[in-house]
Structure 1
Amino acid sequence: MDIEFVNLTTENLESEHLCCIIRSKKPHKGIDAKRQWLSERLKEGHVFRKLNAKATVFIEYAPLETAWVPIIGDNYYYLYCLWVSGSCKGEGYGEMLMEYCLADAKEKGKSGVCMLGAKKQKAWLSDQSFAKKFGFEVVDATENGYELLALSFDGTTPKFAESAKNQKIENTELTIYYVMQCPFVYQTIEMIKQYCEMHDVPVSLIQVDTLQKAKELPCVFNNWAVFYKGNFETVNLLDVNYLKRILKK
């Protein structure tokens, strides 16, 4: 059986599904927001490659210089997300997608590929143990256990921006930095707004809408970051129970 993958382009962006949320043709504001964000990123060399099937099988990466993360380095790719779920697991799709990314990086003369990880795997980050099988190694870390993994082709390594290691802000209320890169962000923001309004919880929701803002963030970031009482909490998207646990601190 032939296995077909598709790369999103400015020409097919509106017609192709985005894998993260597989739905009918009903409108979905999170998907619309991601399409809008991608429409500009694709022009910068951003890559979104997916299985040509109704399935959650995809990889998303970009040149580090234009990746919306507080990581600095020269001539690297940043791997935002590599995901295979459901019945598609165990078919080798993850290996195919990673091998495509690495081959693409080498073909374009990149110095390597990097990604965000952690000492303890986070639910909304790609599987770092899988990446390490390809030779990714920890090249930088924060005091609270987040790690920068990289596979270097030439001995150079990227690093977290100094601001990303601060992990603290002056604002003490619930504060969330986010970018509309992930289709789940929109509905999560709406849930948090509703919960905080119902329970009189002060909240600051800060949309990261430029590359410069992303590069200067006061914490590690993949597309989402949560602070409470001035302290960094997580890069994981929140459900109601997780939000309640944070607010009890």
Structure 2
Amino acid sequence: MEPGFIDLTAENIADQHLCCIIRSKKPHPGVEAKRRWLVDRLPEGHVFRKLDVKEKVFIEYAPLETAWVPVEGDNYLYLYCLWVAGAYKGKGYGRALMEHCLADARDRGKSGICMLGAEKQKAWLSDQSFARKYGFETVDETGYGYTLLARSFDGTLPRFTDQARAGTIEEKALTIYYSDQCPYAVNSLEIIRQVCGEAGAPYSLVPVDTLEKAKALPCVFNNYAVFYGGAFQTVNLLDAASLRRLLKR
């Protein structure tokens, strides 16, 4: 029998696998932080829909008004992540998840759905070529390589905030903005502490722990953002190799 989809709720979230590659017999701090973050988001209309398996087959989205991203618009949903990996690719699960999101948006009377994109596909962003098959188009862009995609139902369009479009800060040292939404952030932050400590490189880790902070960010953000030399660098989580390359610039 084929597994079915389930939505996370306050009643089942404690027992559900959160669709990450992270494998740990003990509670993982990043996974548990994500679980706590989700508990607070679900009453806001946040949706985490997953295949009932312990693998990476899920979609995560929320009303734009309460989505932790520096994007503004009226009556939209924001699609954080659509991920189908491993043996489950090519079996129609991605299509089923996207079609569910589109149907949910229409049922809620939304004006459309938007998501973060880039001029060149980024590893930590949902597949924008897949989204374009469902009518998503570029509706806004920054000057540093990132775009906003939207599937509009009524002709209205969302946009990046002016602060997000700037992509600069005064601080020149490595600066990381992060939220508990991504379970992998804990691992990346530990790598930053270790590598920067070994190199004697100054750094700043800035938790984005409220909606207000997220909406006021000086760059695009899906749950993580990197600045160096006062300029925005990437939404990709840094590993040791990519961090060392960045520090050599």
TM-score interval w.r.t. the shorter chain? over 0.9
Partner of 2:242: 242
Q: Distance in 2 between matches of 1:88 and 1:234?
A: 28
Q: Distance in 2 between matches of 1:215 and 1:172?
A: 22
Matched letter for residue 229 of structure 1: G
1:133-144 mapped onto 2 (5 Å cutoff): 133-144=133-144
CA offsets per residue over residues 216-244 of structure 1, 9 Å max, x none? 10000100000001010000001111101
Q: Distance in 2 between matches of 1:188 and 1:57?
A: 22
- Checking the alignment, whether the CA contact within 8 Å between 1:21 and 1:183 is kept in structure 2 is no
- Checking the alignment, whether the CA contact within 8 Å between 1:49 and 1:58 is kept in structure 2 is yes
Unaligned 5+ segments in structure 1 are none
Partner of 1:53: 53
Partner of 2:157: 157
TM-score, reference length from structure 2: 0.98
- Checking the alignment, whether the CA contact within 8 Å between 1:73 and 1:158 is kept in structure 2 is yes
CA offsets per residue over residues 49-99 of structure 1, 9 Å max, x none? 000012110000000000000000010000000000011110010000000
Aligned to 1:183, the other structure's residue is in SS state coil
CA-atom RMSD, angstroms?
A: 0.9
Aligned to 1:186, the other structure's residue is in SS state helix
Determine whether 1:128 maps to 2:120.
no
Q: Distance in 2 between matches of 1:193 and 1:244?
A: 12
Partner of 1:229: 229
Partner of 1:214: 214
- Checking the alignment, whether the CA contact within 8 Å between 1:148 and 1:160 is kept in structure 2 is yes
Partner of 1:102: 102
Identity of aligned residues (%): 65
Shift in Å at residue 20 of structure 1? 1.5
Shift in Å at residue 176 of structure 1? 0.4
Partner of 1:8: 8
TM-score, reference length from structure 1: 0.98
Would you identify which runs of 4 or more consecutive aligned residues in structure 1 move more than 6 Å?
none
Partner of 2:168: 168
Matched letter for residue 103 of structure 1: A
Q: In terms of mean alpha carbon deviation, does 189-198 or 152-161 score higher?
A: 189-198
Q: In terms of mean alpha carbon deviation, does 186-195 or 15-24 score higher?
A: 15-24
Q: Distance in 2 between matches of 1:21 and 1:86?
A: 10
Distance change >3 Å, CA 42–CA 113, structure 1 → 2: same
Q: Distance in 1 between matches of 2:194 and 2:25?
A: 26
- Checking the alignment, whether the CA contact within 8 Å between 1:22 and 1:55 is kept in structure 2 is no
Matched letter for residue 142 of structure 2: T
Partner of 1:38: 38
CA offsets per residue over residues 96-153 of structure 1, 9 Å max, x none? 0000000000000000000000010000000000000000000000111200000000
Q: In terms of mean alpha carbon deviation, does 16-25 or 103-112 score higher?
A: 16-25
Q: Distance in 1 between matches of 2:231 and 2:192?
A: 18
